[in-house]
Amino acid sequence: MTDSPPRSAPETDVLIVGAGPVGLALGLALHRRGLRVCLADARPDGAGERDARVLALAHGSRQTLERLGAWPESGPSPISTIHISQRGRLGRTTMRAAEYQLPALGYVTPAGVLYGSLRAAAERAGIQILHEAEVTRVDTTATHAQAVLGDGRTLDARLLACCEGAIHGAADALRTRDYHQHALILRVQIAAPHQGIAYERFTPEGPLALLPLGEDYSVVWTLPAAQAEQYMALPEADFRAALQAAFGNRVRFTATHERARFPLGLRARGNPVGTRCVWLGNAAQTLHPVAGQGFNLALRDVWALAETLADAADPGEARLLAAYAHARALDRRSTIGFTDSLVRLFSNDDPLLAHARGAGLLALDLCPPLRHFVAKRMLFGARAWP
Ligand SMILES: Cc1cc2nc3c(=O)[nH]c(=O)nc-3n(C[C@H](O)[C@H](O)[C@H](O)COP(=O)(O)OP(=O)(O)OC[C@H]3O[C@@H](n4cnc5c(N)ncnc54)[C@H](O)[C@@H]3O)c2cc1C
139-185 residue pLDDT tens: 999 999 999 999 999 999 999 999 999 987 766 667 788 878 899 99
CATH fourth-level superfamily of 12-76+107-174+266-364? FAD/NAD(P)-binding domain (3.50.50.60)
| pLDDT at position 381 over 60 | no
Q: Tell me, what's the pLDDT at 3?
A: 43
| pLDDT at position 2 over 50 | no
For residue 206 and ligand 1, the question of a CB distance below 6 A is answered with no
For residue 183 and ligand 1, the question of a CB distance below 6 A is answered with yes
Q: Tell me, what's the pLDDT at 30?
A: 97
Candidate of 269, 295, 297 to mutate for ligand 1, largest count of ligand atoms within 8 Å of Cβ: 295
147 backbone φψ class: left, alpha, beta (φ>0; ψ -120 to 50) = beta
pLDDT tens-digit map of 308-359 = 999 899 999 999 999 999 999 999 988 888 788 777 766 655 555 566 656 5
Which residues pair with residue 257 across a beta bridge?
Answer: 187
Distance 360 CA to ligand 1 centre (A): 32
Q: What is the mean pLDDT of residues 122-134?
A: 96
Q: Tell me, what's the pLDDT at 385?
A: 39
Q: Nearest Cα to 1, choosing from 316, 275, 264, 226?
A: 275
Q: What is the mean pLDDT of residues 87-106?
A: 79
Mean pLDDT of the chain: 86
Question: Which residue has the least CA distance to atom 21 on ligand 1?
Answer: 295
Q: Quote the radius of gyration of the chain (alpha carbons, Å).
A: 21
Confidence bin at 97 (pLDDT 50/70/90): confident
Contact 265, 290 (CB under 8 A): no
Q: What is the mean pLDDT of residues 58-81?
A: 92
In percent, how much of the chain has pLDDT > 70? 84
Helix axis angle for 351-366 and 368-380, nearest 10°, is 100
Contact 138, 145 (CB under 8 A): yes
Q: Tell me, what's the pLDDT at 383?
A: 46
CA dist 309 and 329 (Å) reads: 17
Fold matches, 12-76+107-174+266-364 and 179-265: no
Query: How far apart, in Å, do the first and last CA atoms of the chain sit?
Result: 36
How far out from the chain centre does Cα 19 lie? 15
Which CATH number is correct for 179-265, 3.20.20.450, 3.20.20.140, 3.40.50.620, 3.30.9.10? Answer: 3.30.9.10
Q: What is the mean pLDDT of residues 208-234?
A: 93
User: Of all atoms in ligand 1, which is nearest to the CA of residue 297?
Assistant: 11
CA dist 230 and 188 (Å) reads: 19
DSSP codes, 337-385: HHHHHHHHHHSS--HHHHHHHHHHHHHHHH-HHHHHHHHHHHHHTTTT-
Confidence bin at 5 (pLDDT 50/70/90): very low
Contact 138, 277 (CB under 8 A): yes
| pLDDT at position 264 over 50 | yes
Q: Which of 106-120, 132-146, 202-216, 345-359 has the lowest mean pLDDT?
A: 345-359
DSSP codes, 138-164: EEE-SS-EEEEETTS-EEEEEEEEE--
Distance 282 CA to ligand 1 centre (A): 6
CA dist 340 and 359 (Å) reads: 20
Q: Report helix, strand or coil for 183.
A: strand
Q: Which of 18-22, 160-164, 344-348, 370-374 has the lowest mean pLDDT?
A: 370-374
Contact 96, 211 (CB under 8 A): no
CA dist 200 and 357 (Å) reads: 14
Domain ranges of the chain: 12-76+107-174+266-364, 179-265
User: Of all atoms in ligand 1, which is nearest to the CA of residue 298?
Assistant: 19
Contact 130, 157 (CB under 8 A): no
Instruction: Count, in order, helices (H) and strands (E) of the chain.
Output: 9, 19
Q: Nearest Cα to 97, choosing from 381, 379, 369, 362?
A: 379
CB contact set of 367 (below 8 Å; sequence gap of 6+): none
Candidate of 41, 181, 269, 293 to mutate for ligand 1, largest count of ligand atoms within 8 Å of Cβ: 41
CA dist 379 and 62 (Å) reads: 10
Q: Nearest Cα to 196, choosing from 102, 288, 335?
A: 102
Report the range out of 197-206, 209-218, 352-361 with the highest average pLDDT.
Answer: 209-218
Question: Which residue has the least CA distance to atom 28 on ligand 1?
Answer: 165
How far out from the chain centre does Cα 293 lie? 5
Q: Count CB-CB contacts under 10 A for residue 232.
A: 15
Q: Tell me, what's the pLDDT at 296?
A: 93
Confidence bin at 99 (pLDDT 50/70/90): confident
Q: Tell me, what's the pLDDT at 378?
A: 56
H/E stretch holding 84: strand 81-86
CA distances in angstroms from 206 to 17, 184, 246, listed in the order given? 34, 11, 10
Distance 34 CA to ligand 1 centre (A): 26
Contact 122, 41 (CB under 8 A): no
Which residues pair with residue 212 across a beta bridge?
Answer: 217
CA dist 26 and 30 (Å) reads: 6
For residue 97, the 8-state DSSP code is: G
Question: Which residue has the least CA distance to atom 15 on ligand 1?
Answer: 294
DSSP codes, 199-228: EEEEETTEEEEEEEETTEEEEEEEEEHHHH
Confidence bin at 370 (pLDDT 50/70/90): low
Distance 13 CA to ligand 1 centre (A): 24
Q: Tell me, what's the pLDDT at 205?
A: 80
